[in-house]
Structure 1
């Protein structure tokens, strides 16, 4: 901000300086020309006074020689009998008894010395003007610095009324945001607690089903759901300074695919899994597991039962890429698919929003594309733990250019 003010002051003072120099140069030149013309008028008056009392050529010639204009060869006199004395030409200045006095105007040099002096004074005045001009902006700059350093806390500043009003608006918006977040946490907590009663009933019913592969899958799903509800409740009250932790993406994906492969088998889906080498990212295992479950739940819910599914993990150049793709019909509106609550097709968009938030928490990105299986491909890039990687920008990409 200070540099912007300095440039503005320099431009304004520079324009004033240019106008001042042009005006000063014109006035100095005009003044020198007026002085020269006045001197010529005086010389002509001296010669005219001699002509008034004598028309003797020698007397007049001597008078011309004694004047500045005559000494410079710029004055001439034409007597009444036609005799010309001095250098011919020039502008008639005086006439006495039929004699005419003429003077050639002198060449007036441009006053460069005076202009350079004025230029030096103007340069000094320009520096003083910039220094003095900054003083009225000091309260504004101080208030802006307070605003810039008040991220995450209440803004308290004194300065121009407009900035004080802006600070009040920021405080009001912060309080409103905090209130909305608190209400959202309370709502999620209430919903999570309400889920415990039907979840307990579902667990009892699952235990009563008996034995067999289907019964085991039902019990496994109920246990997973119970863990998810517990994780939601725990996330609502995080401990101060609790580290996020790290996890191996390959291990987490492999563990979750043991659950989802059973569902794929029931629906007759072809499931391709390629987890590759261990790849560690700065996310808690539960957080990454929630991402995998959210993406695969979208696939199983919104694609035909026989549509193939592919899951892969690739580690390269400080990034860990998790790819989930399907052979469905794709995403009708990719431009809004990554916005929570507006993904379409009867979905809230919460799954993609969870995935996006997890990727961006590691400095990564989410990409929504058409995959090699013909449907949607969600590609998450996570920043690898304890590894240098170039910043990813933009963070959310929405690409839909047809089949590759």
Structure 2
């Protein structure tokens, strides 16, 4: 910003200086031209005074020599007898520009001729123009320095705002902008601080709400665990207990994440195939209970991504929950993981009716099927956290196919496409 303002001041001052130099130079040239013409008229008057006294050629020649125009060879006298003294092209009977008729001592007519105008560009004029240019350059430098001095408070305020924004970007949300400088920047800083305070209050209220809801979930989870224990042994009871344990674990992690000291900026890492395989152990059993064909295709080679196992597990659960919630029982579902060219792709496909409005479904909180509307948004955020993308398409089973591309860990490839969604507008 400082360099931008300096360039703006420099160009503005230079433009004003050029205009002033051109205008003043034109005035100087015009003044010199007028002065030269006045000098020529004065010298013609001087020679005419001599002719009114005598027409002796030697006296006239001496008078011409004493004038500047005569010394420069631009002045001539045409005597009544036809004699021409000096360099001239006219005669005693000539009329026109540069020819001045005068009366001699004996009352006859003579002509004083100025053969060419006086030169305008002289050493004095060049010196004055050079001084004018130097003065303009000094004025430009002084104007830029003065402008920077005047703008110094605004620059300090902008620098303070930029430093504060950098601190906020590094995670210190308690920092506020010191409101000083020009009134406009002070008003802007006050508005930004007010917005930051409101955001902090909203985040605090959100944390309180999440904590309250999480604590309230403990009671029904405890009841479910007691009911599962009362059922006894068996695969159904084991799945219920496993689901209750997973829910209790998720609730504990939600509560722990609400404490600032427990947060971590490290993204973590996991193997996509391992996480998907672990979560599909639960969902495959659930699909078997519904008579739903479930196909899982996982690669043998490692598929590492810079995403925590819990975050990726939440993505798998969100996608499979959408399938089980929005498609009828016995509808086929396939899950596959593919590794290729620095990308790890997770594909979840079903044979249901598809997604009527994929663009709306990818926005947080939007749902047309009575759910929370967070499933695809969670998947999108996880994919983009690794530099990947989400694609909603029609699959080979006839329903929706959700394709998530995760950037492979420690792979320095350039993204093949920008972060954009290729949307499929399927039938409802």
Q: Alpha-carbon deviations, 1:351-381, whole Å to 9, x = none?
A: 2232233334x44233233144344343334
For residues 128 and 329 of structure 2, what CA distance do their matches in structure 1 show? 93
For residues 31 and 215 of structure 1, what CA distance do their matches in structure 2 show? 110
The Cα of 1:161 is off from its aligned counterpart by 2.6
2:52 alignment partner in structure 1: 52
The Cα of 1:206 is off from its aligned counterpart by 3.4
Distance 1:235 1:394, change over 3 A: farther
TM-score of the superposition, structure 1-length normalised? 0.86
TM-score of the superposition, structure 2-length normalised? 0.81
Q: Which runs of 5+ in 2 are unaligned?
A: 91-96
1:176 alignment partner in structure 2: 198
The Cα of 1:319 is off from its aligned counterpart by 4.3
1:30 aligns with 2:44: no
The Cα of 1:325 is off from its aligned counterpart by 3.2
Q: Which runs of 5+ in 1 are unaligned?
A: none
For residues 267 and 421 of structure 2, what CA distance do their matches in structure 1 show? 28
2:316 alignment partner in structure 1: 292
Indicate which of 165, 183, 187 corresponds to 2:187. Answer: 165
1:149 alignment partner in structure 2: 163
Indicate which of 346, 351, 367 corresponds to 2:370. Answer: 346
The Cα of 1:390 is off from its aligned counterpart by 4.6
The Cα of 1:163 is off from its aligned counterpart by 2.1
For residues 175 and 124 of structure 1, what CA distance do their matches in structure 2 show? 49
The Cα of 1:316 is off from its aligned counterpart by 4.7
| Paired residue secondary structure (1:53) | coil
1:40 alignment partner in structure 2: 40
* Count of aligned pairs: 401
1:106 aligns with 2:118: yes
The answer to whether the Cα contact below 8 Å between 1:146 and 1:155 also exists between their aligned partners in 2 is: yes
For residues 66 and 239 of structure 1, what CA distance do their matches in structure 2 show? 102
For residues 40 and 56 of structure 1, what CA distance do their matches in structure 2 show? 22
For residues 391 and 124 of structure 1, what CA distance do their matches in structure 2 show? 53
For residues 256 and 324 of structure 2, what CA distance do their matches in structure 1 show? 27
* Higher mean C-alpha displacement, 183-192 vs 383-392: 383-392
The Cα of 1:388 is off from its aligned counterpart by 4.2
The answer to whether the Cα contact below 8 Å between 2:331 and 2:351 also exists between their aligned partners in 1 is: yes
2:94 alignment partner in structure 1: none
| Paired residue secondary structure (1:379) | strand
For residues 364 and 173 of structure 1, what CA distance do their matches in structure 2 show? 29
Q: Alpha-carbon deviations, 1:174-196, whole Å to 9, x = none?
A: 22111111111211222222222
The answer to whether the Cα contact below 8 Å between 1:45 and 1:94 also exists between their aligned partners in 2 is: no
